[in-house]
Chains A and B, each alone.
Chain A
Amino acid sequence: MSRDVSATAASGVDFLREHVRARLTLVMLVAIPALFVIVSASVLGEFAAALGGSAAGNSASALGAGWAAAFLAGALGFFQVASSRDADRRLALAGMGATRVAIARISASIVLGVLISSVAFLTLWLSAGIVHPAHAFAAILVFALIYIGVGTMVGSFISDALEGSLTVAFIFLIDAFSGPGMSDSGGVAQLMPTRRAADVLIAAGSGQSSPGGDWIAVGITAAGALLLSAAAFWLSARPRSR
């Protein structure tokens, strides 16, 4: 049992090292969320008003931090899976098993998701100031976790880089445009993946706490996205009988 855990952890560290060694990519992973939060902070309130939404001031800036974490995490999750599909299948076949490969791969993505979220949060905190920093960080992290799940799921079923990237972008833009604060639409918009996390983030940005029910919904959504992505990854990486 402990040997299984240490083998999975070692693989996760290796997957992480693979990413860290691409210095330029790592620099972008840090620079892009910071730039996005700074640039979008000045316009998101106006944009929300144009769409009939209510997000303004720090709430809109906070939402920008969540979006930055989400779109980078989505791309990260997709490429973690799609670009290493063959290697992961071989690892699974060689004895590691699809489950452990999935756990290692998604764990590496989560560590990088924490990095992205931290950069987005710190930029938001320094540039806008947040009354409930812990709430804001948790909500931004949930944006990243949900999109790691989305990216991993897309990468498990679509191997082509262009098709997969467009699919992740498609989901992200629909989600962002229909989210709370951006439009007052109900119906299908209520089912979008970051809906509850955006509620919490907007509340944190405006200095309000969120009710316990929102936190439970946020936790369930993040855990569900990661579990579904692990299942999708397992399905795509498992050995096939010939």
Chain B
Amino acid sequence: MTGRTATATRMGFREQVRRPLLLVLLVALPFLFISWSFAITEPTPHVVTLPGGERLLTTMKDLHGAIMVPITVGFLAALIGLFVVQSALESDRRLVLAGFSPGEAILPRLVVLASATLVVLAVSLAVTTIDFLPASWGPFVLGNLLAGLIYGEIGALAGALVGRLGGAYLMFFLPMMDIGVAQNPMFFDGAPQGWAVFLPGYGPARVIIDGAFSNGFDAVGPLLLALLWIAVLTVAVTVLLRRSVGSRAG
């Protein structure tokens, strides 16, 4: 990281820290959503299908708590990605005019986005441990991180492609419908339906369910799929933002 990129990154963090309501919301929302989900869900028995094909009897309460983590992380990361990128586009164009390369202007935004996702993830996981301990921490944390990064990048793409309002409509809807409904093992007899595999939340959600309820790891395919989503989205975000901050600068 060059000196000026480090400076831009530091300024990006300072900008976020100076918004106290944002920090409160980033901590309060995961706390409330997840702890409330545990509190209001009945412990009725429910069968879940694990990625390895094993059918396991658990409770709606545990399932809701486990799936609420990626819903929360994905939703918040998507909105952060949307608005961090959207609000930065204009100033980043000026940075490029002032001599930054497009890559140097974009990198700090992506670092801020990834860091905010990590904060939300850490709070969400900490809250979850009050009521639920996953069988395998590694896949559970990894799956949630992947959900956050994927939706953070989708939010960034939406910010650059469809603007604030259109992006907000989309990010209010997509993570809820994808992770909250299509991938949610509380529905559809405990396993996502066939079409759910085409949605971005499929890979992370299957890795999370595996980590939540299995001591082994049988979600290699979903993990690779999630990594593929990350790779494609990272390329798309980088290309689009480079073009966006560079095109009007010339």
Contacts and interface: CB of A to CB of B under 8 A. Distances in A.
B131 interface: no
B79 interface: yes
Interface in B33-50: 33, 36-37, 40-42, 44, 46
A183 B25 contact: no
Given A43-B184, A46-B187, A72 B42 contact: no
Interface string B158-175: 000011111011101100
A173 B76 CA distance: 13
Interface size range on A against B: 35 or more
B25 A52 contact: no
B158 to A, nearest CB: 10
Contact of B42 (A22, A51, A161): A51
Nearest to A33: B173
A79 B40 contact: no
A160 B166 CA distance: 16
Contacts of A76: 165
A47 B163 CA distance: 32
A131 interface: no
Given A28-B170, A39-B177, A161 B29 contact: no
Contact of A160 (B19, B28, B41, B177): B19
B86 A161 contact: yes
Contacts of A166: 22, 25-26, 29, 76, 79
A25 B25 contact: no
Nearest to B80: A162
A165 interface: yes
A83 interface: yes
B187 A25 contact: no
Nearest to A28: B169
A57 B142 CA distance: 36
Given A50-B186, A163-B19, A35 B177 contact: yes
B229 interface: no
B40 A183 contact: yes
Q: Which of A50, A71, A79, A163 has the most CB of B within 10 A?
A: A50
Interface string B70-113: 00000110011011101100000000000000000000000000
B206 interface: no
Contacts of A170: 25, 28-29, 32
A31 B32 CA distance: 30
B165 to A, nearest CB: 5
Contacts of B1: none
B249 interface: no
B186 A22 contact: no
Interface of A: 22, 24-25, 28-29, 32, 35-36, 39-40, 42-43, 46-47, 49-52, 71-72, 75-76, 79, 83, 158, 160-163, 165-167, 169-170, 173-174, 177-178, 183, 185
30 contacts: A22-B163, A25-B162, A25-B165, A35-B173, A35-B177, A36-B173, A36-B177, A50-B42, A50-B44, A50-B46, A50-B60, A52-B41, A52-B42, A79-B168, A160-B19, A160-B21, A161-B86, A161-B164, A162-B79, A162-B82, A162-B83, A165-B168, A166-B25, A166-B79, A167-B25, A170-B25, A170-B32, A177-B36, A177-B40, A185-B40
Given A43-B184, A72-B169, A166-B25, 4 more contacts: A50-B186, A75-B169, A165-B79, A177-B37
Q: Which 7 A-B pairs have the closest CB atoms?
A: A162-B83, A50-B60, A25-B166, A43-B187, A166-B25, A28-B169, A79-B165
